Amino acid sequence: MPTLYTMPGTCSLSPNIAVAWLDAPVAIHNIPYGDQKKEYYLAINPRGQVPALRFEDGDVLTEVTAILAWLGATYGKEGYAPSSRLGRKEAEALAYMSSEVHATYGGHFNTPKFAESAAAQDEVKRKTYEKLADQYGRLNGILSENGGEWYLGQRSFADTFLYVLTRWIEKTPLSIGNYPALKAYRAHMEADEGVKQALARQAMEPIG
């Protein structure tokens, strides 16, 4: 069966949750932080990043959205079809979360990549948190408009990524208390059995 490589604290939690929700025959291999740069893992993904989905024939699929698309197409029900309304909105939501919000976190997780001096790095962080505040405001608003339980009004893979983002906010000066819909949503997700299973498989704890 395919093997999904994950690491604690990373966005690989998103496809890990999807595997649990679909009860898909995919093995989860959780690697310790730092192993993504070791020779054995670089042979799987030379970019040294998780997640990576390795198939039995040796082929490897990377990037969260690509792995989620494969999982949905392979094991999903009709509602996951890309041609359905949910499928279209899910693709849009995941594109925003990954290419916009996740990308913005680069200024937080990899500040030296964007600036060298301490003053310049402080400016990068300030701009990063301003942008993240706007993005979380948008996410909070859409979630509220759709009822608050699921991001798109019904469960989709967008929820697997949004949950990751509600965890990452704790790493920043921002407070999830300023986004009440997201705060309630995070608690709702952590009561989900599939999320509990994925957290345990990735050696992570609920935030509460």
Indicate where the chain has its CATH 1.20.1050.10 domain(s): 78-192
> What is the per-residue pLDDT for 86?
77
Q: Taking CA 22 as the corner, what is the angle to CA 137 and CA 99, rounded to the nearest 5 degrees?
A: 35
- Residue 89, classified by CB atoms within 10 Å of its CB into exposed (0-12), middle (13-18) or buried (19+), is middle
> What is the per-residue pLDDT for 78?
53
CA distance 16 to 43: 21
CA distance 27 to 25: 7
How long is the chain?
A: 208
Indicate where the chain has its CATH 3.40.30.10 domain(s): 3-77
Please answer whether residues 174 and 132 qualify as being in contact, where contact means their C-beta atoms are separated by less than 8 angstroms. yes
> What is the per-residue pLDDT for 113?
83
> What is the per-residue pLDDT for 117?
92
> What is the per-residue pLDDT for 76?
82
> What is the per-residue pLDDT for 81?
54
CATH topology of domain 78-192: Glutathione S-transferase Yfyf (Class Pi); Chain A, domain 2 (1.20.1050)
Name, in order, each residue with C-beta under 8 angstroms of 104's C-beta and a sequence gap of 6 or more: 128, 131, 132, 135
Instruction: Give the global pTM.
Output: 0.93
> What is the per-residue pLDDT for 94?
96
> What is the per-residue pLDDT for 80?
56
Domain 3-77 in this protein, CATH class: alpha beta
Residues with pLDDT less than 50, the chain? none
Query: Among all chains, which residue has been given the structure tokens 């990954």?
Result: 98
> What is the per-residue pLDDT for 61?
97
